[in-house]
């Protein structure tokens, strides 16, 4: 009797194995397809979010000190004035005169960045003109010794830019 039960159970087990073999691959294929669909959906969501962050407004990230392009540290007019003051030993009178020049430059550069009618090259050209004008205005307020140091700072900054890098914050006029 025990042999018949074992034999019957064995037949039941064999039948279950046969059914599993017939249906098993379908279930595993469905699982693979489902997992693949989830991965694709997550990738699409990730890329959509990363593209959306690329279209932030120009002033996004300024609170963290990053420039619009994310290329480096963008100093505020106050930070630039502080660096100039340290490097050139500016008087209080010079600081008072230079601060509005730097603030005006920052406003002009911001307006330039927001002007979508200009090509990238036109923006770059105008930006360089604005910066050159600022440097000229600042230079006229400096003593002869300060002008020499300021010119030296400008040359170092120019070398950094030609090499495609950002100068350290201490060298940014």
Residues 81 and 24 in one domain: no
In this structure, the number of other CB atoms found within 10 A of the CB of residue 138 comes to 24
Residues 78 and 30 in one domain: no
pLDDT at 101: 92
The closest of 75, 76, 81, 79 to 95, measured between CA atoms, is 81
Residues 90 and 155 in one domain: yes
Residues 101 and 130 in one domain: yes
Q: What is the pTM of this model?
A: 0.51
Domains identified in the chain, total number? 2
Structural domain of 20 = 1-55
Higher pLDDT, 63 or 9: 9
Residues 86 and 11 in one domain: no
Residues 82 and 135 in one domain: yes
Q: What is the mean pLDDT of the chain?
A: 76
The CA-atom distances, in angstroms, between 67 and each of 49, 58, 72, 76, 111 are: 20, 9, 6, 10, 14
């Amino acid at each position: 009797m025990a042999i018949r039960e074992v034999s019957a159970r064995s037949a039941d087990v064999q039948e279950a194995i046969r059914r599993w073999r017939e249906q098993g691959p379908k279930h595993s294929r469905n699982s693979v397809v489902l997992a693949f669909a989830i991965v694709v959906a997550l990738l699409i969501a990730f890329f959509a979010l990363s593209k959306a962050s690329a279209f932030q407004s120009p002033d996004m990230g300024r609170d963290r000190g990053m420039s619009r392009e994310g290329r480096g540290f963008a100093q505020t007019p106050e930070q630039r004035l502080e660096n100039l003051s340290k490097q050139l030993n500016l008087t209080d009178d010079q600081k008072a005169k230079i601060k509005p020049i730097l603030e005006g430059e920052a406003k002009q550069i911001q307006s330039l960045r927001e002007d979508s009618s200009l090509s990238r090259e036109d923006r770059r050209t105008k930006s360089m003109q604005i910066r050159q004008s600022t440097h000229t205005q600042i230079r006229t307020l400096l003593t002869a010794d300060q002008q020499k140091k300021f010119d030296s700072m400008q040359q170092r900054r120019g070398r950094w830019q030609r090499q495609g890098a950002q100068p350290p914050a201490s060298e940014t006029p």
